[in-house]
Structure 1
Amino acid sequence: MEPKFFLAVFLLISSTVSAEYIRPPPRKTLYFPWRSTPSSHPQQVHISLAGDKHIRVSWVTDDKSCLSTVEYGTSPGRYSAVSHGESTSYSYLFYSSGKIHHTVIGPLEPNTVYFYRCGGQGPEFQLKTPPAQLPITFAVAGDLGQTGWTKSTLDHIDQCQYDVHLLPGDLSYADYMQHRWDTFGELVQPLASSRPWMVTEGNHEEESIPIIKDGFQSYNSRWKMPFEESGSSSNLYYSFEVAGAHVIMLGSFTDYDEYSEQYNWLKADLTKLDRNKTPWLLVLVHVPWYNSNHAHQGEGDEMMAVIEPLLYAAGVDIVLAGHVHAYERTKRVNNGNLDPCGAVHLTIGDGGNREGLARKYINPQPEWSVFREASFGHGELKLVNSTHAYWTWHRNDDDEPVRSDQVWITSLVSSGCLDEKRQLRKILMGP
């Protein structure tokens, strides 16, 4: 590797791999015993970012008469503010959901613990808002599901001092069995009620039935993201800003061609970027574009051909994906070739799903692939400052969070790449 290229891509690469890693056996789907809960009490509580200094609180009640209100304040049991929100519900064949509430609270102070109560009933929850400036830490895990390995992944994430959870698709693995959305909400509530969870859809969220049922009804009803706040017309793709990062959540399973609403929205979103304010540009998508695993090989090629030129012109630093049930990290790459001004791609669809791991890789390993392993785990991305980020991947090995891969990544803002792309941006993102 040329020294100049090395400096432009990574400040430091330090990967540790065990020579003979023997994977633990699979774990069964979790069993959720029925629990008697008052119908007015909040269930499946989770929070998400909802524009500058605001957070959306989402929950479900069995009682359809409950109000969509959230009381909150900075002291336990003392609520200095109250917000009123909206609610929805849906039917799916023989299933009828509870009342699904979405209420935006704020403005909130950054890096502050708030205590809150949903609908004036039930237990008190607490959340911590993200910082306003760098550093910030993201926990990343996709393809979660509801197995023993999912529980292990969540336990490890709970030990991480993170600010926001990023989930690149495939949440509950309900797969048409709607009560599994309820048990998934119960499973993740301890974490998702205390830190923002920012998600995008995967193929297991679609749940469409030709003629009878449109896709993504359950997902859109339960996991409302800030698409309206970011100028998007669909909950399947949106963006948000937090600390020094602009994060774009793309939809692999909605139209993305050059005439689509998603493509035009993405161009507009990228055009408005201020990289002095947000030096880091991250993208999440479910289906990976750079994948040397036999599983789902080539499935992201069509989207990559259309969208990658826009991301390259805008100077995207990191692309995070799921779908493949394994972990893989690339060098900076664009159009299938090594490029010091391309993005680092991270496949992290290894959260713990019931379908198991994707164990077969293509050999020889492509030049752009640095590290790959079929194990369950999670990632942590710490944006330390405007120029350097530290990425680690933690394997779930015998219930110990083993740090199996780690790398320092330098931002494209600091490398001079954005200056070189100025003319390209005019061409690709012009009218």
Structure 2
Amino acid sequence: MEPKLILILILVISVSVTADYVRPKPRKALHFPWKPKAPSLPQQVHISLSSEKHMRITWITDDEYAPSIVQYGTSPGKYTSITLGGSTSYSYLFYSSGKIHHTVIGPLEHDTIYYYRCGGQGPEFQLKTPPAQFPITFAVAADLGQTGWTKSTLDHIDGCNYDVHLLPGDLSYADYLQRRWDTFGELVQPLASARPWMVTEGNHEQENIPFFKDGFESYNSRWTMPYQESGSPSNLYYSFEVAGVHVVMLGSYAAYDLNSNQYSWLKTDLSRVDRKRTPWLLVLLHVPWYNSNKAHQGEGDRMMETLEPLLYAANVDLVFAGHVHAYERSKRVYNGRSDPCGPIHITIGDGGNREGLATRYNDPQPEWSVFREASFGHGELKIVNLTHAFWSWHRNDDDEPVRSDEVWITSLVGSGCHAGKGHGQRKILMEP
């Protein structure tokens, strides 16, 4: 046998023996056969948090005269309250959306199951409101799309006892084909109608056509978030509070320079955070700032340069991002290196989209990078109390959610970081 052939065989055997995990093959896009529906039937139902003790219910009908009412109560089929909301619609090239209903219901009790019906007819749905205090669990997954792996991810999240889903960008991967927004709404309805989904935009939500269509029209029409409730001028960035956690959703594709509305809003929002009331502070955005994958290298650098000092001054605990189709967790980091007072950055753009995984990483692994792997999966963040949380990442391994990375996280509240920034770092949030 030739020496070169022997060497190749040895390498193949070595790799097959030492490899910890063999990545499954990509899966095809899901097929959604057309089914006739009554025009007034509520479709694509999803919910999101609004103001304190209130929930926004969103659904679509093909009947433009269908009312935007939601009936709800705490017993099946017994609706003790009814609320009237509003609606919108949009056209995109040769596509016209159905009537998109948005109705805010409440006040609602914490940690309670409600039964509700949209539009005065159709099936009954049920939702569970988040708890008033710790513990609370967040499911986290970005870059979902509509493939077989997406369905696997959603199935795994459905099996997780979570309270709120956080999605840092790239939802439907419609990419101008508006019907894909409808099929995405159909795909996620079983989960999104039962627990609040809090999302921010990614690059696949832009869908702008220069001189003809502004960006994010489909996204803004369908996925309205509580931006007005948080004092934001744009649905592309906002904040909300739930069970002792202040969550900031930033817009990677909205202006973020020092003179921008987003910068001004973020500075004001962070300066108002009361860490006695919300001891945990999370931030979500689409384009990661700390990324050792070869994909999308450096794309978040300018945003990081502008906004990272604000997050550091505010003692942000965790930053979640998507965009890179892989998973990575950092140490606490700031200004490009480990810092005990900086946030932990987690990239989780591995929900299952059709573009596949980003499998190539920079070597050597940066000092601040703790764990990285190119696999589809989802994350779970259980905030146990005001000081401790447990983070776990679950790889989609042959349709079984395998916990592959986990860590206990201590909040920066009580760490001394806040007091240590009194010489100037905290002042950045107070300056006009």
TM more than 0.5: yes
TM-score, normalised with respect to structure 1: 0.95
Q: Deviations over 1:323-349 (max 9, x none)?
A: 000000000000001100000000000
Cα pair 2:268 2:429 within 8 Å, conserved = no
Question: Cα offset for 1:191?
Answer: 0.1
Pairwise CA distance, 1:19: 4.8
1:424 paired to 2:429: no
| Equivalent position of 1:122 in the other structure | 122
TM-score, normalised to structure 2, is 0.95
Distance 2:266 2:105 in 1: 27
Which residue does 1:157 correspond to in 2?
157
8 A contact 1:310–1:429 mirrored in 2 = no
Supply the distance in 1 between the matched residues of 2:150 and 2:179 (Cα, whole angstroms): 18
Aligned amino acid, residue 64 of structure 1: E
Q: Where do 1:16-415 residues align within 5 Å? A: 19-415=19-415
Question: Residue type matched to 2:184 in 1?
Answer: F
Structure 2 gap ranges (5+): 1-17
| CA displacement at 1:416 relative to structure 2 | 1.5
Greater gyration radius:
2
**Is the contact made by 2:271 and 2:429 (CA closer than 8 Å) also made in structure 1?**
no
Give the Cα–Cα distance (whole angstroms) in 2 for the partners of residues 52 and 222 of structure 1: 22
CA distance in 2, matches of 1:142, 1:270: 24
Where do 4+ consecutive residues of structure 1 move more than 3 Å?
none
Once residues 196 and 431 of structure 2 are traced to their aligned partners in structure 1, the CA distance between those partners, rounded to angstroms, is 34
- What residue in structure 2 maps to residue 13 of structure 1? none
Shift of 1:429: 3.2
Residues 350-391 of structure 1: CA distance to partner in whole angstroms, max 9, x if unpaired? 000000000000000000000000000000000000000100
Instruction: Please state how far the C-alpha of 1:177 moved relative to its aligned partner.
Output: 0.1
8 Å contact 1:392–1:407 — kept in the other structure? yes
Query: Shift of residue 414 of structure 1?
Result: 2.5
Corresponding residue SS for 2:329: strand
Alpha-carbon distance in 1 for matches of 2:61, 2:291: 41
SS of alignment partner, residue 255 of structure 1: coil
CA–CA distance in 2 between the matches of 1:219 and 1:136? 28
Contact 1:309–1:428 (CA<8 Å) still a contact in 2? no
RMSD: 0.8
Q: Is the contact made by 2:270 and 2:429 (CA closer than 8 Å) also made in structure 1?
A: no
CA drift at 1:418: 1.2
Q: Partner amino acid for 1:429?
A: M
Please, which moves more after superposition, 18-27 or 95-104? Answer: 18-27
- Distance in structure 2 (CA, Å) of the matches to 1:357 and 1:82: 45
Equivalent residue of 1:413, what SS?
coil
Aligned residue identity for 2:428: I
**CA displacement, residues 237-277 of structure 1 (integer Å, 9 cap, x when unaligned):** 00000001000000000100000000000011011110000
Contact 1:333–1:344 (Cα < 8 Å) also in 2: yes
C-alpha distance in structure 2 between counterparts of 1:213 and 1:273, whole Å? 37
SS of the residue aligned with 1:36? coil
1:298 offset after TM fit, Å? 0.3
Q: Tell me the distance in 2 between the aligned counterparts of 1:114 and 1:36.
A: 29
How far apart, in 2, do the equivalents of 1:19 and 1:428 lie?
Answer: 48
Structure 1 regions of 5+ residues with no counterpart?
1-17
Q: Distance in 1 between matches of 2:293 and 2:380?
A: 22
CA distance in 1, matches of 2:417, 2:408: 18
Paired positions, count:
414
Corresponding residue SS for 1:289: coil
Q: Secondary structure at the match of 1:184?
A: helix
Q: Matches of 2:36 and 2:120 in 1, distance apart? A: 19
| Distance (Å, rounded) in 2 between the aligned partners of 1:424 and 1:143 | 34
Question: What is the distance in 2 between the residues matched to 1:154 and 1:415?
Answer: 36
What amino acid maps onto 1:312 in structure 2? Y
Equivalent position SS for 1:157:
helix
| Distance of 1:163 and 1:341 partners within structure 2 | 28
Q: Note the alpha carbon deviations across 1:97-143, whole angstroms, 9 max, x for none.
A: 00000000000000000000000010000000000101100000000
